[in-house]
């Protein structure tokens, strides 16, 4: 009955934590493609091929349902995967839609026409590839009108997190927030559009100020998955073990994950 969680590296662990707390009875298999992180500076074909390889590895672990807990992969590869690659009986779900539903105060599956929402000025912090895809703006347009989105590509932040350099990550967050504020001085909300970024949520909040509501994805994705499995319990796969897999060096990845999550995390070779 295992569910897979895919990410380019460490970021998806924020989602995995929330999933385990919300669904403690479900075994989760995590796959971090640390050897190829970050995805945010790769081209679309490369991201597609790497994501497909990771999802296939999770299928081999008995995970018929895989959460693509990487915003870059969700933005760049997921739609193509769903339309051309994923076979019947398997599913891959992304992390954008639960976030946008929360921002626009919509219930899951609300397919009514787009409407005015309370928040008008939104800052989006994401990887360069996610920003270039405009996937967030496209999904938002299906649900809301009159929302001004200013997107800031946050080059270097994922690298710093993956390398365990918290001081550099904090400095980069401040620099990217400053750059966005020059274009949008008073955002009402900020979207952390990369699952690595909740590891730096405190830094984002401090740089943005207390009046800006910061949205990150972990708990929203967990609630969305719980709802999905209630409606589609047959998507629980045959796998029975919980394990963290990495394409990188397991000892190094375990050490960095433990440092950023501030609790012991162990990885095995994928």
Say what angle helices 250-261 and 13-22 make with each other, to 10 degrees: 70
The beta strand positions in the chain, using DSSP E, are 3-7, 28-32, 65-68, 91-93, 115-116, 121-126, 144-145, 148-153, 189-192, 213-215, 243-246, 268-269
Q: Is 63 a catalytic residue?
A: no
Give 246's strand partners: 32, 269
DSSP 2: -
At CA 207, angle to CA 201 and CA 210, rounded to 5? 80
Which run of H or E residues covers position 251? Answer: helix 250-261
Catalytic pick from 52, 63, 154, 194? 194
Catalytic pick from 52, 63, 70, 154? 70
Q: Is 70 a catalytic residue?
A: yes
Max Cα distance, the chain (Å): 51
Total Cβ atoms within 10 A of residue 52: 17
Active site residues: 70, 194
């Amino acid at each position: 009955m295992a569910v897979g969680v895919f990410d380019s590296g460490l970021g998806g662990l924020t989602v995995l934590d929330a999933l385990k707390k919300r669904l403690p009875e479900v075994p989760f298999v995590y796959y971090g493609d640390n050897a190829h992180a970050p995805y945010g500076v790769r081209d679309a074909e490369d991201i597609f091929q790497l994501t497909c390889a990771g999802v296939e590895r999770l299928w081999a672990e008995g995970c018929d349902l895989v959460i693509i807990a990487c915003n870059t992969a969700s933005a760049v590869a997921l739609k193509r995967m769903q339309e051309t690659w994923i076979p019947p009986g398997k599913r891959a779900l992304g992390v954008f839609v639960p976030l946008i539903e929360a921002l626009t105060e919509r219930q899951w599956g609300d397919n009514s026409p787009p409407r005015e929402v309370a928040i008008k000025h939104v800052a989006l912090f994401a990887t360069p590839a996610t920003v270039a895809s405009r996937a967030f703006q496209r999904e938002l347009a299906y649900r809301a009108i009159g929302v001004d989105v200013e997107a800031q590509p946050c080059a270097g932040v994922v690298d710093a997190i993956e390398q365990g350099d918290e001081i550099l990550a904090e400095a980069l967050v401040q620099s990217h927030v400053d750059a966005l504020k020059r274009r949008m001085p008073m955002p009402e909300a900020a979207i952390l559009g990369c699952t690595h970024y909740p590891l730096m949520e405190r830094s984002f909040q401090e740089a943005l100020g207390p009046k800006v509501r910061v949205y990150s994805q972990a708990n929203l994705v967990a609630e969305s998955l719980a709802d999905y499995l209630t409606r589609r319990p047959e998507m629980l796969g045959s796998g029975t073990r919980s394990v963290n897999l990495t394409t990188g060096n397991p000892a190094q990845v375990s050490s960095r994950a433990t440092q950023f999550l501030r609790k012991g995390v162990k990885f095995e070779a994928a």
